[in-house]
């Protein structure tokens, strides 16, 4: 139920440009002196972009079930010992596959060590992998956008490429981060005949299945900022409260001026949009709180949470300080004169943010169907304004936008919820700075279902390449992950050698 007087749905206003300069401090250095990150790899080692004619509907045998679409994938054989080395297969998530390939250098470092073939597969309905072309995110064309169809895409692609490349005996290890991490775990669970093991980094398997605490996410975002600076959370609370007080007194011009909005704030709906816009900046900064400058999901400095706290605490006016803090994410160049809060942030069925553009539309549909993300902020356990998002609100939004009703229990039924003990060979890694960690697997479930916690780690930091600024824990965890994966690969080879001996078993288990 929405807080009294604070509506959930947000109408657009005609633009009224207000040229108020954003009150940002000078941009911080990219990283600590003497700890500059190494140069980025040029398009990653030997990656080649290819397309595979993928089946549109894996679960229909009608005529239209035989139709195909071009699924994009990237492949690098630079380090591969052909026919022997393992296959490292990244299960693409909600975006352009190049974005993930350019931010997952650990996979290439490991491929060099273990002589692996590397494949990054793009998720259907994202990037260039569009089953219905530019019409793919039209409501009548979204029915084939499911987790199950995406996993089947990956299974078919793996089987086909193994045959094409002479890799029938090469063990496959799935990798993924965030939603991609969920998919890597699901691949091991659903297709153990194809995938020998999986590294599921920052995979919120529990929360997306509806098993988490709705207050957890924004509580943990708040905790990140509290750790960075003890006075930071107090200043943020004060800023939001002052905006609410100004709203209740009708002082919308003052809100517009201090928050430097391009569109004049003129009603409670605009203030609610402003709150969502601001909260989204905190979310992204907490997720991407890496110890060096990144350009992954926005252009962010090293330690953006710390930088954001420095911004708000440097201002005597809390609201102007809040404007400076969110500018660490929204105005990294320092050149913006104002914030277009309706363009920069679009409310959707994911309270942590969908982004903008066609990929955002596809993700909005997914969180309206199978994936549960009914997080809310309550201004009690977190520092944000009360912004509820209940299952009933989600259902109302999704029916209005997509004419679909979410199936809140489906992931628990289809992907086992929290009872994963009957699978094997999955690493669940989470960083203690990552607000998604609280919705993931944080305790080992068996000797081969291994939970790793990365102290000082943000969102799937372990998938990123080695960097001099890395916390010691992630370096150690990458080494441990490499050793575990090497053991999985060797175990498959031993088992296959046993099968090939005279009198060997007719079948095998990975």
Structure-token match 């029916």, residue found = 399
How is 248-317 classified by DSSP, letter by letter?
Answer: HTT-HHHHHHHHTBSSPP-SHHHHHHHHHHHHHHHHHHHHT--SS-B-SSS-B-SSHHHHHHHHHHT-SS
The SS3 call for residue 72 is: strand
Is 335 one of the catalytic residues?
A: no
Query: Cα–Cα–Cα angle for 368, 345, 150, nearest 5°?
Result: 35
Q: How many CB atoms lie within 10 A of CB 12?
A: 10
Instruction: Indicate which residue of 76, 104, 178, 424 is catalytic.
Output: 178
Is 364 one of the catalytic residues?
A: no
| β-sheet bridge partners, residue 174 | 89, 198
CB-CB contact of 305 with 228 (8 Å): yes
Nearest to 308 by CA among 25, 21, 30: 25
Is 434 one of the catalytic residues?
A: yes
Instruction: Indicate which residue of 220, 434, 462, 470 is catalytic.
Output: 434
- Dist. CA 89–CA 184, nearest whole Å: 9
CA pseudo-torsion sign 239, 245, 247, 249:
negative
Could you write out the three-class secondary structure of 338-354? CECHHHHCCCCCCCCCC
- The residues that are catalytic are 178, 434, 459
């Amino acid at each position: 139920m929405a807080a009294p007087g604070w509506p959930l749905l947000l109408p657009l206003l005609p633009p009224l440009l207000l040229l108020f300069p954003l009150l940002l401090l000078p941009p911080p250095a990219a990283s600590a002196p003497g700890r500059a990150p190494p140069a980025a790899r040029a398009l990653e080692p030997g990656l080649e972009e290819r397309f595979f004619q993928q089946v549109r509907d894996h679960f229909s045998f009608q005529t239209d079930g035989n139709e195909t679409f071009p699924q994009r994938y990237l492949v690098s054989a630079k380090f591969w010992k052909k026919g022997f080395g393992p296959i490292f297969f990244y299960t693409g998530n909600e975006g352009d596959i190049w974005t993930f390939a350019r931010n997952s250098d650990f996979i290439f470092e490991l491929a060099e060590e273990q002589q692996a073939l590397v494949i990054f597969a793009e998720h259907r309905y994202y990037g260039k992998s569009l089953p219905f072309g530019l019409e793919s995110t039209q409501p009548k064309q979204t029915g084939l956008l499911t987790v199950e169809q995406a996993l089947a895409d990956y299974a078919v692609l793996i089987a086909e490429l193994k045959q094409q490349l002479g890799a029938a005996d090469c063990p496959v290890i799935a990798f993924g981060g965030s939603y991609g991490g969920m998919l890597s775990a699901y691949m091991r669970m659903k297709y153990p005949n194809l995938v020998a093991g999986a590294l599921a980094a920052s995979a919120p398997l529990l929360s997306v299945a509806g098993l988490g605490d709705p207050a957890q996410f924004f509580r943990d975002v708040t905790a990140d900022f509290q750790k960075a600076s003890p006075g930071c959370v107090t200043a943020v609370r004060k800023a939001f409260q002052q905006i609410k007080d100004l709203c209740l007194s009708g002082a919308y011009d003052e809100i517009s001026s201090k928050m430097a909005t391009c569109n004049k704030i003129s009603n409670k709906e605009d203030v609610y949009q402003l709150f969502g816009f601001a909260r989204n900046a905190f979310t992204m900064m907490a997720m991407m709180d890496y110890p060096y400058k990144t350009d992954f999901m926005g252009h962010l400095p090293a330690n953006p949470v710390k930088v954001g706290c420095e911004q708000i605490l440097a201002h005597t006016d809390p609201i102007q300080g809040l404007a400076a803090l969110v500018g660490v994410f929204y105005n990294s160049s320092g050149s913006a004169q104002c914030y277009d809060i309706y363009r920069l942030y679009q409310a959707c069925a994911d309270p942590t943010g969908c982004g903008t553009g066609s990929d955002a539309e596809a993700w909005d549909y997914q969180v309206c169907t199978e994936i549960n993300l009914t997080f809310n902020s309550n201004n009690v356990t977190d520092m944000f304004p009360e912004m509820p998002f209940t299952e009933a609100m989600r259902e109302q939004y999704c029916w209005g936008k997509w004419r679909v009703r979410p199936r809140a229990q489906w992931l628990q039924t289809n992907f086992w919820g929290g009872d994963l003990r009957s699978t094997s060979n999955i690493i669940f890694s989470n960083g203690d700075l990552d607000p998604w960690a609280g919705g993931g697997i944080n305790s080992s479930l068996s000797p081969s279902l291994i939970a790793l916690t990365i102290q000082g780690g943000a969102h799937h930091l372990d998938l990123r390449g080695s960097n001099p600024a890395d916390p010691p824990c992630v370096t150690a965890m990458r080494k441990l992950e490499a050793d575990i994966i090497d053991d999985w690969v060797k175990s498959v080879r031993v088992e296959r050698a046993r099968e090939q001996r005279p009198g060997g078993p007719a079948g095998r288990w990975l």
